[in-house]
């Protein structure tokens, strides 16, 4: 009878846990069931009755809300109010910016794979594809990145082309003269340009990201839109946005830039306006900008507006040519020649209608910035990172095939194969993440947390990919010149990692800090209930939270014990095991996350090493989900299967390690030990992608031309006579044509029809013996000449060298 009690209890436990039901009433009911059977098994009617009554009383107390509030919630509210984090206004605005999307599915511990499978990422429109095939391709053909680096600027004809083709107006609606592009269209344009020139990509992406155009579209008055948007779209106005200053970098809300409300002269009339003072730096396009977007603290010390004196962060549009503005100096960001520099304003006067959105938007600047960043972070830098990754894939796939050592293509050596697999696998994963994130944006979402994930983790992956590509190219990668595109990409890596929120800050504070509150099904409700001292709402939140933690802990345990096989996947797929494992880790993440919040309370904000590891776990689960989504949606090529498995295997392993790291560093050994038993009941058994899987991923870009092209479909491939990728692609084609001839010669050696000899001698012996034709001999010579050309590096005479920049 006791055994039967355990069986029934387990069935109930499984049912409730996998249904995600979190009421403590059912927990108490389960206790009733177990106590009854246990007592009956012992054979004691008295014990049976006592345990039954006790458990029934517990079920009644926890299941009857008024009694529960009186006995428990009222006692819990005061101590919890002391430990819960208190949110300031800027924190609350940042938390409320944007929307919650797949990140909430991860925090729920029960991701809805049907929803993700059925979610439709918007494809390029015919007009967007035509723009990429036309103006974007022509722009790329105009760009000589090495010459741009030497001249320290884009050529005048490129600037004119960007204006004429409205590259600066991609996000501006067509009714104002812009291109009105979708987010995926915008992203793919930036990706293609980035594969050609980082400087040109930054020049194009900044006016279409956080700045005057984006802010005017969403918040501007009709008069402001009519006045500025057509001029921004056709490049008559070049915008910049002045946010960062010496005193306010990552903590942009701490800006000391001020706008004092006072009366002043404007166009010959005395008007009510703002006297502005600011000191900004690192402002992209500032040296060439004609229109400055400015964020500042607005103050009304004389009460001219009525109400409070300190009105909060406000955004305004400032023409460049006003008295008091110092602009035009350049910073030099890692030698990458896009315009970037400081702007200083001293007693600059503008009328109140310079405020974006007019006087009604006074004090709403921080909200504008956070909402715009929620979208902007999702597009520009992830697109640039994908461009660098796809370019690295294209270069290294060709180079490792063409370049030979010991009469063998270097891609055949396992030491090269290993970084090639990382390059290919990460490029697949990065492109998948870019596509899914833009799909969410095009569906009307503004996923603030996932946008931060895309920015931080794709630019970090860019660093990993380009570093591996540099290693493969070896000596050729460190010699600057027209032949070497990788060196210029490598110099741009720290820029992507630093701007729009440094990755260190994004990882340690933003991703998990915002996610834990915004995306969790109960935390925001709990914080709001405590802040409002609403006992009923607090009761619902705290007991809902407790039930949530319990069920996710049980799910994590059962999925861990079963090797994830109890997780349901609602459709047939070759990657069923990957879906199951990711489901398991969603439950494990939800439980570990709640355990960290419970044991650390408000101090978790300061325990950035732990919150950073939790951010890693959240981020890699999203990247894995994006990879699975890509494979679900695209043609089922054999190479895609291997690349998807590689990407998910890496993401799962890094998720596991992040959760282990969080538990290993919890200050409570008891809580950490309990969590390990639930989350890793059989140990942390996942490993990085295997050597065999890595070999297949590497072969995808070495031997499968279709896979290599598919993996790098967003980049610009130059003509065959251009140094760098153009010549490399031509050499690859010649090497591939020569392969059957080389095979014929090797077969002749094995058969004893030819003596072994050096490669060049073997070709001649084969021709003399009639084993290969003159045409085949010529193909071998063409391939060898092409190989020799692409392994050359740039060299300069002394005078030219001294003039290099």
**Residue 338 tokens, joined:** 């896009």
**Token pair 């812009």: residue:** 178
**In the 8-state DSSP scheme, what is residue 135?**
I
- Widest pairwise Cα distance in the chain: 105
Query: How far is Cα of residue 692 from the mean position of the Cα atoms in its chain?
Result: 28
Cα dihedral sign for 704, 710, 715, 716? Answer: positive
**CB-based burial of residue 414 (10 Å sphere; 0-12 exposed, 13-18 middle, 19+ buried)?**
exposed
**HSE, side-chain direction, 13 A CA sphere, residue 360:** 4
The torsion defined by the Cα of 444, 449, 454 and 456, in degrees rounded to 10, comes to 150
**Token pair 């034709």: residue:** 773
| SS3 of the chain: helix, strand, coil, percent, to 5 | 65, 10, 25
Whole-number Å distance between alpha carbons of 21 and 23: 6
Whole-number Å distance between alpha carbons of 51 and 423: 61
Question: DSSP assignment of 677-732, as one string?
Answer: HHH-TT-----SPPHHHHHHHHHHHHT-HHHHHHHTTTS----TTSTTHHHHHHHH
User: Catalytic residue at 722?
Assistant: no
**CB-based burial of residue 391 (10 Å sphere; 0-12 exposed, 13-18 middle, 19+ buried)?**
buried
Contacts of 668 (CB under 8 A, 6+ apart): 599
User: Rounded to the nearest 5°, which phi and psi values hold at 299?
Assistant: -130, 145
User: Rounded to the nearest 5°, which phi and psi values hold at 649?
Assistant: -60, -45
**CB-based burial of residue 308 (10 Å sphere; 0-12 exposed, 13-18 middle, 19+ buried)?**
exposed
Rg (CA), the chain: 31
Within the chain, how many helices (H) and strands (E) appear? 34, 9
Contact indicator for 547, 27 with CB cutoff of 8 Å: yes
Q: Which of 128, 165, 214, 500 is catalytic?
A: 500
The conformational region for residue 328 under phi > 0 = left, psi -120 to 50 = alpha, else beta, is left
Whole-number Å distance between alpha carbons of 605 and 596: 11
The b-or-e profile of 6-17 (16+ CB within 10 A means b, else e) is: eeebeeebeebb
Q: What is the 3-state secondary structure (H, E, C) of 29-56?
A: HHHHHHHHHHHHHHCCHHHHHHHHHHHH
Question: Which active-site residues does the annotation give?
Answer: 500
């Amino acid at each position: 009878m006791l055994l039967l009690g355990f069986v029934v209890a387990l069935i109930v436990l499984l049912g409730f846990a996998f249904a995600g039901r979190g009421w403590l009433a059912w927990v108490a009911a389960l206790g009733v069931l177990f106590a009854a059977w246990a007592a009956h098994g012992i054979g004691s009617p008295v014990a049976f009755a006592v345990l039954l009554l006790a458990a029934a009383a517990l079920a009644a107390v926890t299941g009857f809300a008024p009694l529960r509030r009186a006995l428990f919630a009222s006692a819990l509210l005061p101590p919890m109010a002391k430990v819960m984090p208190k949110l300031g206004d800027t924190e609350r605005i940042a938390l409320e910016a944007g929307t919650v999307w797949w990140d909430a599915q991860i925090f729920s511990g029960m991701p809805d794979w049907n929803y993700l499978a059925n979610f439709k990422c918007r494809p390029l429109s015919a007009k967007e594809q035509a723009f990429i095939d036309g103006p974007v391709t022509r722009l790329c053909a105009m760009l000589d990145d090495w010459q741009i680096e030497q001249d320290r600027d884009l050529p005048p004809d490129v600037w004119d082309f960007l204006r004429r083709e409205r590259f600066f107006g991609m996000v501006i609606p067509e009714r104002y003269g812009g291109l009105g592009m979708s987010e995926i269209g915008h992203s793919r344009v930036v990706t293609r340009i980035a594969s050609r020139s980082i400087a040109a990509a930054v020049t194009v992406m900044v006016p279409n990201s956080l700045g005057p155009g984006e802010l005017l579209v969403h918040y501007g008055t009709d008069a402001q839109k009519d006045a500025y948007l057509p001029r921004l779209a056709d490049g008559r106005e070049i915008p910049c946005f002045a946010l960062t200053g010496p005193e306010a970098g990552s903590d942009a809300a701490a800006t000391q830039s001020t706008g004092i409300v006072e009366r002043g002269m404007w166009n010959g009339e005395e008007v009510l306006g703002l006297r502005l003072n600011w000191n900004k730096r690192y402002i992209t396009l500032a040296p060439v900008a004609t229109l400055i977007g400015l964020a500042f603290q607005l103050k009304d010390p004389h009460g001219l507006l009525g109400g409070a004196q300190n009105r909060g962060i406000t955004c305004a549009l400032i023409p460049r040519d006003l008295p008091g503005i110092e602009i035009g100096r350049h910073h030099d960001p890692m030698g990458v020649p896009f315009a970037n520099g400081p702007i200083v304003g001293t007693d600059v006067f503008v009328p109140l209608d310079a405020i974006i959105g007019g006087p009604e938007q006074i004090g709403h600047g921080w909200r504008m910035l956070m909402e715009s960043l929620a979208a902007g972070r999702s597009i520009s830098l992830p697109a640039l990172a994908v461009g660098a990754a796809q370019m690295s894939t294209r270069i290294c796939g060709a180079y490792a095939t063409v370049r030979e050592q010991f009469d063998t293509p270097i891609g055949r050596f396992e030491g090269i194969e290993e970084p090639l697999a990382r390059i290919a696998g990460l490029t697949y994963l990065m492109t998948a993440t870019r596509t899914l994130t833009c799909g969410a944006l095009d569906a009307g979402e503004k996923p603030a947390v996932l946008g931060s994930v895309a920015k931080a983790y794709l630019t970090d992956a860019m660093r990993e990919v380009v570093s591996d590509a540099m290693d493969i190219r070896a000596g050729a990668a460190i010699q600057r010149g027209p032949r070497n595109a990788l060196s210029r990409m490598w110099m741009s890596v720290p820029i992507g990692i630093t701007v729009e929120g440094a990755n260190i800050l994004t990882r340690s504070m933003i991703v998990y800090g915002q996610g834990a509150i915004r995306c969790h099904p109960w935390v925001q409700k709990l914080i709001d209930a405590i802040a409002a001292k609403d006992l009923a709402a607090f009761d619902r939140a705290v007991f809902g939270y407790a039930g949530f933690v319990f069920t996710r802990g049980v799910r994590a345990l059962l999925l861990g014990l079963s090797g994830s096989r109890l997780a349901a996947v609602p459709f047939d797929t070759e990657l069923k095991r990957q879906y199951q494992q990711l489901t398991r880790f969603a439950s494990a993440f939800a439980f570990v996350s709640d355990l960290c919040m419970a044991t650390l309370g408000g101090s978790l904000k300061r325990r950035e090493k732990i919150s950073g590891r939790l951010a890693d776990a959240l981020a890699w689960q999203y990247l894995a989900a994006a990879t699975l989504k890509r494979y679900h949606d695209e043609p089922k090529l054999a190479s895609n299967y291997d690349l998807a498995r590689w990407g998910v295997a890496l993401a799962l392993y890094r998720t596991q390690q992040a959760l282990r790291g969080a538990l290993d560093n919890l200050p409570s050994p008891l809580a950490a030990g309990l969590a390990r038993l639930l989350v890793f009941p059989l140990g942390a058994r996942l490993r990085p992608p295997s050597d065999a899987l890595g070999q297949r991923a590497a072969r995808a870009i070495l031997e499968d031309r279709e896979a290599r092209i598919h993996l790098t479909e967003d980049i610009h491939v130059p003509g065959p006579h251009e140094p760098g990728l153009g010549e490399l692609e031509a050499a690859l084609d010649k090497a591939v044509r020569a392969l059957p001839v080389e095979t014929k010669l090797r077969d002749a050696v094995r058969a004893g029809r030819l003596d072994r000899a050096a490669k060049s001698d073997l070709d001649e012996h084969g021709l003399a013996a009639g084993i290969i034709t003159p045409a085949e001999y010529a193909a071998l010579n063409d391939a060898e000449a092409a190989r020799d050309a692409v392994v050359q590096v740039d060299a300069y005479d002394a005078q030219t060298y001294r003039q290099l920049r």
